[in-house]
Chain A
Amino acid sequence: MAALTHLEEEKLIKEQGYNDHFYDHHHGDKHQMGFITKYIFCQDHKIIAKQFLITGIIWAIIGAAMSVIFRLQLGFPEADMAWLRPFLGKWIVVNDDGIGSLDPNFYYALVTMHGTIIVFFVLTAGLSGTFSNLLIPLQIGARDMASGFLNMLSYWFFFLSSVIMLASLVLSTGPFSGGWTAYPPLSALPQASQGSGTGMTLWLISLTFFVVSVLLGGVNYITTILNLRTKGMSMWRMPLTIWAFLITAIIGLLSFPVLVAGFLLLMFDRGMGTSFYLSEIFIGGQALDNVGGSPVLFQHLFWFLGHPEVYIIILPAMGLVSEILSVHSRKPIFGYKAMVFSMLAIAFLSFIVWAHHMFMAGVNPFISNFFVLFTLIIAVPSAVKVFNWIATLYGGNVRFNSASLFAIGFVSMFISGGLTGIFLGNSTIDIQQHDTYFVVAHFHIVMGIAAFFGMFAGIYNWFPKMYGRFMNETLGQIHFWGTLIGAYLIFGPMHYIGLAGVPRRYFRFDSFETFKQFDALNQFITVCAIIVFALQILFVVNFFYSIWKGKKVTSKNPWESNTLEWTTPIKPGHGNWEGNIPTVNRWPYDYGKDGVDFIPQIKPLAEGEQHSELHQ
């Protein structure tokens, strides 16, 4: 038995494939008449994926540039920032000597926007939005999403939300500046902070539209996966990417509405004089009438989304990495079913651990017992996943390229960041570490860097499918090594700063004897952050250069992968497959089975061959 040639593959789809009469009615191209319907208000999942990706990249540049500015403040608080005046205007206060310094109002706005943008716009929309859209129809063998129209709306709600958030950046009172978690009363009272006025109103509206986008997308992903799988594609034959997107969409559907509920109550408190979150407040020389509310209620509502949100971010990355590690190790993913069950376990547990963000927030310490227990239980399925990824490499024939390297980097980051989570999930240690730089280091590594690594791996791996060209491999590897080393150098030292007790979200440290000892480390981190930022610019250059000038893909299946997306034409049009839809005869991980390098899912079992998935 040998691997399939392209001719054999086409013959297989033609003979065994399923004719859904897609091309008989000519509706296949009816939505792609002109420029506007093809590239702007497009209903094709592949174009929508690119829209999500490119919008996400633009937001990532903005979000990362913000972090560079506030890192400059933290590393070099005395340095002259007057050169930023052309970009930031009045937020750079220039004194009589011509030395410019950052306005603390804007520092806090930058910190807040950095978090909001990266968490929601980049790692939720940019990551899950891109790859769910691109891969779900292609990998399950569907012509498109269940509803192309809702899918289009999903992007345009995200776009609307982006525009509103962008507008809030240029307000004269500045964007919202109370932290991405937006805890009231700070976020509820315009008297409390400049950014809590119009900036906060726009922030709330923007994120509400964003939730609409996520929900429309999520409904679509779930429906598509459950209903539009091609013949033979049983649930246990889906690639792990699809499992990850399915579970992610379910989590999003269950948790995002709770956030909107929290936001609505906050809007009422802000605009209609209700007291859901406000009680006994004296601010701006005035005692407010609100009594009986509880700021802790908002935290419950927020983290009921907020915690599942981190899994909404990391699960798609896990799915992408599982697929990429398997393909480039030329080996089946180790423990396919264990991978699925651990994702399900993580998803379930993600709903009952939210209060571990609130151990020190004034909730009853007795309640914390349950949250500690469930939180630390999550370490078990996470550990299983890590072991399985490592076991996938074992005995493989690992092909090194930007995609597989970023996947390996993802595993390394996930281990490092996951382990520090064990400290924070334990409420006793959290007494000291809560809201310090240790937390900053932890979540940046485990859901920031790791999720970005998963996203980069995915982009390098599926770029040929998106644009019919490869990204430049050498630049990709420079990007990988610089980012891997740089990310550890940025966030490694932060653990020690946090252990020494330095709180996060400080504008300067020099008023405290305890916190001001770390100038050298802070400078080092800032320098590393600037270099890593430059490397991301390199990635963006590579990305856009390769769209038009990259090396052309010459074969349908450049990675010699088993999944269905590589049976489509090099540049698939609307409807994905030119003739019949391929049918599936086996699971997606038959790499190296019986000595054959790879056996695509469309290939029927040979005589006497057993299904690999039956051994699970």
Chain B
Amino acid sequence: MFKVDSKEKEIVTLYYEKNHWSITLKRMLKDWRLYVMLIPLILVFFFWKYLPMYGLTLSFKNYDSGLGILGSDFIGLAGFKSLMTDPTFWRAFRNTFMLAFYGLLFGFPIPIILALLFSEVKNKGYRSFLQVATYLPKFVSIVVITSLVTLLCTKQTEVYQGGLITQLLTAMKLIPEGTDLLKSPQYFRAIYQISGIWEGAGYGSIVYFAAVLAISPTSYEAAKMDGASKWAQIKNVTLPGMASTITIMLILDIGKLFTIGYEKVYLLYQQETWETADIVATFVMRHSGMASDGVVDQLSKAIAASADLLNAVIAMLLVVGSNIIARRVSETSLY
């Protein structure tokens, strides 16, 4: 419509360079459709991820449902103080750490070993059968898994021989007759970890298996030429080839230490096993009225929110720290 000569164009460009914001605005207007596409995502994340973060200020409030979050009385660190002096919180804190630590200790190496074993199965048909079978539990809901655990570990009564695992352990004289596995605190961690390995080890091996497959076959041939035994090959070729994957996964898993699966604990724990099974998340549930067996008063909500806040901060420090280390190690950022 208008004829713009080059001199005019130059002036316009100069003008815009001085007015960075108007350029940005212009670019935003040009791509307005992209922002429209972002609206649903932004709304969902705003309402159900970011507003709850603001809800963490409930840690410092004496929450009154009539007054709302903003209107409720500010009580400062009162909730936090009683959290710190609550021995059941420290028990929950310790249990969270122990479950996570054992989860890492046993849950981390097993998928790596599985991947090494998978790479030995050269028969494609049989290997995919093994993979299909071992990944399967990961796709089943946590309710089904904990229901199976509950049913298999049911105790023996006069009319019922007990669940299969109870029967087996009793027959092997590993537990005294009449033991209730589900209500004995000393077995909770084992039940949690073993079912965790059963559920996740196969699926967890996928990423390592991909790393094994990425190792060039010529490396093995070279090692064989040198007369390396299988064990030497694994030690000198396979494991070094997987090293970066293993390092990154380890760092990431450490980052996830404090976000252990609370659903499973919630579904498996009982009052009798609180000693080993009560974690920070279930502590929060009981203090905020989410679990049926909790005691809730006004301060307990501030306590619950404080525990959540502490958990979230520790989890974030671990994730961010582990990502910084992962970035150093792999020289690429993960997110």
B is bound to A: no
